[in-house]
Amino acid sequence: MKELLAPAKLTWFLEVTGVREDGLHTLRSEMVSLDFSDRLIIEEPGDYLRLTPASIRVGVDETNLVAKALNLVGRKAGVTIDKVIPTGGGLGGGSSDAGAILRWVGGVSSELAATLGGDVPFCQLGGRAMVEGIGEVLTPLKFEKRDVTLIIPNFSVDTKACYKAFDELGELGEGRNHLERAARIVEPRLARTMNWLSAELGKEVHLAGSGSTMFVEGHLEPGESVWDVQGPAGTIRFRQTSTTPQEA
């Protein structure tokens, strides 16, 4: 039996640099690992996939990224995933789990990892890196300890719809996150929540990737780790965390 950690990832900034002939967008972004993780328990021999807590709404069939990662490398194992990373929030929960599986088997090329999803190559690497192409071009960067406060609303943003809205805007993108304007259009609750947070906190609120997770730099409440507040579109969870280096 083997225990693996699958750290959450945060997209520190995101630039859309183009669109390939196959319709996939090319990006340039900085990604960092965070110090809270899903936990995977691997059992061999075995052939099952379980999630805890049972209330987590994530498929445990062949569509799960862990199952796809095992299939990619031709391995079978029993896997129990203890979910901590919120689902559908843009923190790479599924990709982080897949990356942990790839590290467990000794790793694969970034190009092969990218066939599972654009975040998987970075999640296999971890730490801090410049990520380009469709996620397969990685340039490791020196680790920097950064404190951040994640802001996780009770809704998600559809990534495909966000990129479609970006294309329909017909512009190259601007600011720290080129997808923010499109994400606000796709999910009006995000726009209301970001505006409200900026006014309440007096700080610049950033969108992580296509969302729906947002973040501010630094810790807002010394001594606290997780707390909830009521925002304009429902409950918002604040989680204070920090960046973490690549696993040794």
Statement: residue 9 has pLDDT above 80: yes
Are 27 and 58 found together in one domain? Answer: yes
Domain of 31: which CATH number? 3.30.230.10
Q: Could you give the number of structural domains in the chain?
A: 2
Mean pLDDT value of segment 163-187 = 92
Supply the residues annotated as catalytic.
Answer: 9, 119
Cα–Cα dist 176/178, whole Å: 6
Task: Note the pLDDT tens digit of each residue in 204-213.
Answer: 999 999 989 9
> Does 126 share its domain with 71?
yes
Task: Assess whether 153 and 240 both reside in one domain.
Answer: yes
Q: Do residues 102 and 14 both lie within one domain?
A: yes
Q: What is the pTM of this model?
A: 0.94
Q: Report the CATH number at residue 208.
A: 3.30.70.890
Model pLDDT for residues 184-236, shown as the tens digit of each residue: 999 999 999 999 999 999 999 999 999 899 999 999 988 889 999 999 999 99
Rounded Cα distance, 30 and 23, in Å = 22
**57 pLDDT higher than 70:** no
Which of 140, 156, 189 is where one domain is finished? 140
- How far is it between the farthest Cα atoms of the chain? 54
Q: Are residues 151 and 172 in the same domain?
A: yes
Shared domain check, 213 and 163: yes
Please tell me whether residues 31 and 134 are part of one structural domain: yes
**Same domain (yes/no): 198, 93:** no
Residues 25, 78 share a domain: yes
Tell me which of 140, 175, 209 is where a domain ends: 140
**151 in the same domain as 37:** no
Give the distance, in angstroms, between the CA of residue 103 and the centroid of all CA atoms in the same chain.
17
Same domain, 9 and 89: yes
What tens digit of pLDDT does each residue of 107-140 get?
999 999 999 999 999 999 999 999 999 999 999 9
Domain C-terminal end among 120, 140, 160: 140
Q: Are 129 and 165 in the same domain?
A: no
* Range(s) of the domain holding residue 52: 2-140
